[in-house]
A and B are shown apart, each in its own frame.
Chain A
């Protein structure tokens, strides 16, 4: 038996199994979207693949009944964990009227769902950081015990909004957790051409907050880091910066060809650490998941995705004139 790491973190067998289920659902949903894209059925995909462990590890450390999140476009795992369903995500992929993110107005992966406290996102990167800080400010002003959780890519950590937002949160000691999902690339540009410091987390000290770098392929390590950050935030000690290091397994998006700028061997090497495989192995070694349970899980997820796809494909598009609605309050 492998060393049981989750128990000491206060996680039950059911919880870690649920984490795995969410990771696998995110992965398989993402894979299905690529198939649909290559079949000409949906115009665009941008992936979470390689970052599921970071996203699910972090989300499970939050209180998903009251914390707020401002996710970025790769955070399929985060929004699933916060309550968005596979069906809702497929509705968005097909740009159908029922899409709760935007009613088919935005490209897929521009997440947002008020009932699950998922702030609406745009395309210009990093604008969500000050928004999450504003949520943290509201929590502090109203003396509420929730935190605000915001994510972005490492390339995006060069935008002014990252620095303005984190500095603001630091100055006012706001309950904000920023997680940079460092997948080593910003489209084609590698990490060493993005930042001059060794780690994105090095930047935290300028903003008066702890900055830590964790293995983003290890959901338990990310869980632990975010859990600590949440406790700090609720104790009034202010914000934290977490850098979860992983790797982007797919091209940047369905419109990108990553053979133009990186070697296939590098991708293959990174995939050896694929958390979908390593976490499954961990769960089996610790006796949490049997082969049979894994097969059942895969079958269950396939069924969920098939149903979501069929539903979304057959759902109606928005009425053309509905393009005019909701510019202002009606």
Chain B
């Protein structure tokens, strides 16, 4: 099995779907000739041509809105937002339109569209190239939000998103693009949207997280194993709607739950995870649910000292797990 980086897995997933179904096409800023500012669509313009790898004007609401129109017609657009931070001009199209079209038309129309966007910090991106924006969309029934943590998941979940008949927001951690490398099968596989995945079995502490934080958690768990602390790791993979069953099961497994997000804490995805545990696991818990998250500031600042202070890392995760294990 070939080893691929996270971004190579995404390119491969896109390419396979474009070969499989000629209705699949990509639209976004700089996705064509240049192959994307991160290179996620590299080589695909030459292979598929201008109209399946479409360089659009610099206008996010149109990228989303034109994608919605094409999707209603029966195309399968994959719209790229150059950075998740710049999805904001398209929020009206995503929330008022894409999310509600099946519901408001009583199942007459639907929007089989995927919106890909690189999110996350730790890349010297400052306030507007580092954000986690999933919480903005995570109370919008009609949307699905997928945030893969590994190259294998990225490919399998992207392919599933493109085949899904409803709109999917697909957030890719931009630091993961080249940091994470793993074996990725060359054959056609898809992974289920809406299902969390156990990334590590353990018995002392359960960590529930998603995205790049999964990687940090696995690194921390490895170290803590040497100290005799056994960590169970559940990767949400789909952060909306949440896989409640898997969350409950993982919480019950150890009775000590640490929730982690790179986003700031209040109003984040993990608040909802915590509520699910509170509703269902009262007598299974041996410690209060703990949350590790970014600080309550608008976004990640630029200077290395400031960025490091904001950003998660394996050490912060390790400390939080150890504290909870010792509770």
Listed in ascending order, the chain A residues whose CB lies under 8 Å from chain B are: 68, 70, 99-103, 105-106, 110, 112-114, 119-120, 122-124, 127, 129-138, 140-141, 148, 160-161, 164-165, 167-168, 171, 325-330
Please tell me if the beta carbons of B59 and A127 are within 8 angstroms of each other in the complex.
no
Cβ contacts under 8 Å, A160 to chain B: 59, 61, 89
A134 and B92 in contact, given A102-B106, A127-B97, A167-B57 (Cβ under 8 angstroms):
no
By size class, the interface of chain B is 35 or more
> Nearest chain-A residue to B73 (Cβ)?
A138
A133 and B69 in contact, given A127-B92, A138-B74, A141-B51 (Cβ under 8 angstroms):
yes
Listed in ascending order, the chain B residues whose CB lies under 8 Å from chain A are: 25, 51-52, 56-57, 59, 61-62, 64-75, 77, 89, 92-93, 96-97, 100-110, 141-142, 144, 164-166
* Cα distance A211–B15 in the bound complex, in angstroms: 40
Please tell me if the beta carbons of B105 and A112 are within 8 angstroms of each other in the complex.
yes
* Cα distance A326–B93 in the bound complex, in angstroms: 19
What's the nearest-Cβ distance from chain B to residue A8, in Å?
Answer: 35
> Nearest chain-A residue to B166 (Cβ)?
A328
| Cβ-neighbour of B69 out of A138, A171, A327 (below 8 A) | A138
Please tell me if the beta carbons of B102 and A112 are within 8 angstroms of each other in the complex.
no
Please tell me if the beta carbons of A127 and B72 are within 8 angstroms of each other in the complex.
no
Cβ contacts under 8 Å, A122 to chain B: 96-97, 100, 104
Cβ contacts under 8 Å, A132 to chain B: 69
Of the A-B pairs whose beta carbons lie under 8 Å apart in the complex, a sample of 15, sorted by A's number, is A101-B106, A114-B108, A127-B96, A134-B65, A135-B70, A136-B69, A137-B66, A138-B70, A141-B51, A167-B62, A168-B66, A327-B141, A327-B142, A328-B166, A330-B107
Cβ contacts under 8 Å, A140 to chain B: 51
Please tell me if the beta carbons of B109 and A114 are within 8 angstroms of each other in the complex.
yes
* Cα distance A138–B25 in the bound complex, in angstroms: 10
Please tell me if the beta carbons of B67 and A134 are within 8 angstroms of each other in the complex.
yes
What's the nearest-Cβ distance from chain B to residue A180, in Å?
Answer: 18
Cβ contacts under 8 Å, A171 to chain B: 57
Cβ contacts under 8 Å, B70 to chain A: 134-135, 137-138, 141
* Cα distance A41–B142 in the bound complex, in angstroms: 32
* Cα distance A171–B14 in the bound complex, in angstroms: 25
| Cβ-neighbour of A112 out of B73, B93, B109 (below 8 A) | B109
Residue of B56, B67, B103 with most partner-chain A CB within 10 A: B103
What's the nearest-Cβ distance from chain B to residue A284, in Å?
Answer: 41
Please tell me if the beta carbons of A130 and B57 are within 8 angstroms of each other in the complex.
no
Residue of A102, A136, A160, A327 with most partner-chain B CB within 10 A: A327
Please tell me if the beta carbons of B66 and A134 are within 8 angstroms of each other in the complex.
yes
What's the nearest-Cβ distance from chain B to residue A30, in Å?
Answer: 22
A119 and B93 in contact, given A105-B103, A165-B66 (Cβ under 8 angstroms):
no
* Cα distance A130–B71 in the bound complex, in angstroms: 12
| Cβ-neighbour of A134 out of B52, B59, B72 (below 8 A) | B72
Cβ contacts under 8 Å, B62 to chain A: 130, 133, 161, 164-165, 167-168
A131 and B106 in contact, given A122-B97, A328-B142 (Cβ under 8 angstroms):
no
Cβ contacts under 8 Å, A130 to chain B: 61-62, 64-66, 68-69, 93
**Besides A127-B92, A131-B66, 11 other CB < 8 A contacts?**
A68-B73, A102-B106, A112-B104, A112-B105, A120-B104, A120-B108, A134-B73, A135-B72, A137-B70, A164-B59, A327-B141
Cβ contacts under 8 Å, A325 to chain B: 107
